[in-house]
Amino acid sequence: MENTLKGKVNNSEFYKVLGRLALPIIIQNFITAFLNMVDTVMVGKLGEVEIASVGVANQYFFFFNLLALGISSGGGIFISQFWGKRDEKNIRKILGVNVIAGVTISLLMTLIALLMPETIISLFNKDPQVIHFGAKYLKTIAISYILTAITLAYSISLRCIGEAIIPMAISGIALITNIFFNYGLIFGNFGLPALGVKGAALATVIARLVECVALLIYVYSKKGVLAASIKEMTDINMKFINKIYRTIASVLFNEACWGLAMVMYAAIYGRIGTKAIASIQICTTVQNLFMVVTLGVANASAVMIGNKIGEGKEEEGKEYAKKFTKMGIILGIILGVSMAISAPFILNLFNVSQEVMRSSLLILYITSIIMVMRVFNAVMIVGVLRGGGDAKYALISEAVTMWLVGLPLTLIAAFIIKLPVYVVAGMAGIEEFGKFILSYKRVKSNKWIKNVIYNL
């Protein structure tokens, strides 16, 4: 009790818990990022138009995924704190909210994608070939959205109760499935038809089906805290909803705001030209590989801090935040230097023109410079602030910097000054400076600690 009051932290326990949570999440995120890179490399063998088509079509999925992620992550704030309190009944209620809301959004987004795929693709790029291939890809992959929503709800809930290894292992199975069917359905190997871009989409659908089914089998065969019945997940009244919706809505709007800004960036790059969007697609894929460690640490910090607040050990939560602050800066420096050194070698994997190669290399060099702030911001916003229940401030810091700084500068650079795509991408990165200042000041103030399960 004395240690808790003074806020002292057992370092060995801290790093043990961090490793147990972060390492599986890092591996799972790496698997996901590697899966996207495999998709891009394989589709890249078909040509630049195909890369651009898949990149544009994936912007729609990207936005949907962020909405589903926002719902599950918002619910995860409550699950982490409820788990600290060992309140299994309310954990199952929150899981129900996540599943119902996620499936509802996925059905709506799927319907839109099936009814108007060409219209969606044309918002990003006017190239007739890109619209043709992109629409074909989008119509096929849209049927996987409901699977993604269910998978996110259960996998994030598992992380919040400290079970991060199983989602990681199941993602590994999905990766192998995707690579196998990618190789078969894109190029016509293993006796399968050569479907090109459509084959890449179909392979992803199969992989997501395998992942979702495997996850549900694990949860319900184990009969643990998340093996909730339909009755337990729907035992929700308006009083309960009113107490949780502000926090979940803040995370949802945060992800939607960030995601919509990313979609706007993609639309800007797409209007610059097909080669520009091809460069951005390649660089996004590479950047995601370097962000997997960051997101692992960020998600682990959210769970660890949330658990401590749920246990009533707020002083320990503050000490955890200090450790994650230092960790974010050190990690950012390491990843930035690593990206700059390895960028030329990674880009050699892609079959693109010298112009696309040069733009991609310059974008990655620029990204490596701002990596310290990007990594720090992710750990603070996704990890510390959300884990502490301060989802509203996280939303404000993202919205202000992206919509009032990043996007205006990017629009001016692209369409008024008409600068090259790598300079435009650099303008987009300036928003990270604003986030860095806002998130650092908030964490230092200690105003971010909020017990969201109080009176629930």
Tokens of 422: 């790598």
Give the pLDDT confidence of 335-359 residue by residue, as tens digits: 999 999 999 998 988 877 899 999 9
Provide the Cα torsion 28, 32, 34, 36; round to 10°: 180
Give the pLDDT confidence of 371-390 residue by residue, as tens digits: 999 999 999 999 999 999 89
Q: How far is 43 from 202, CA to CA, in rounded Å?
A: 13
Q: Count CA within 13 A, CB hemisphere, residue 237.
A: 2
Question: 3 pLDDT exceeds 50?
Answer: no
Q: How far is 419 from 405, CA to CA, in rounded Å?
A: 17
Question: 150 pLDDT exceeds 60?
Answer: yes
Which of 329, 326, 438, 333 minimizes the C-alpha distance to 385? Answer: 438
Q: According to the model, what pLDDT value does residue 359 have?
A: 93
Q: According to the model, what pLDDT value does residue 40 have?
A: 73
| Unique residue bearing structure tokens 């590994």 | 172
Range with the largest mean pLDDT of 97-101, 246-250, 282-286: 97-101
454: phi > 0 → left, psi -120 to 50 → alpha, else beta; which? Answer: beta
Q: According to the model, what pLDDT value does residue 274 have?
A: 82
Q: How far is 367 from 370, CA to CA, in rounded Å?
A: 5
pTM here? 0.81
Average of per-residue pLDDT across 402-429: 94
- Choice among 56-65, 133-142, 147-156, 409-418 with the minimum mean pLDDT: 56-65
Average of per-residue pLDDT across 396-416: 94
193 phi, psi to nearest 5 deg: -70, 145
For the chain, the straight-line distance linking the first and the last C-alpha, in angstroms and rounded, comes to 25
Q: According to the model, what pLDDT value does residue 373 have?
A: 95
Average of per-residue pLDDT across 165-184: 92
For 354, counting Cβ atoms within 10 Å of its Cβ (0-12 exposed, 13-18 middle, 19+ buried), the class is exposed
Give the pLDDT confidence of 278-317 residue by residue, as tens digits: 898 889 888 888 898 998 999 999 999 999 998 888 999 9
Going by pLDDT thresholds of 50, 70 and 90, the confidence category of residue 4 is: very low
Enumerate residues 6+ apart whose C-beta is below 8 A from 44. Answer: 50, 51, 282, 350, 351, 352
Please enumerate, as own/partner, the contacts of 127-131 that have beta carbons within 8 Å and a separation of 24 or more: 127/49, 127/52, 127/274, 129/49, 129/53, 130/49, 130/52, 130/53, 130/56, 130/274, 130/277
Contact assessment for residue 443 and residue 410, using Cβ atoms and an 8 Å cutoff: no
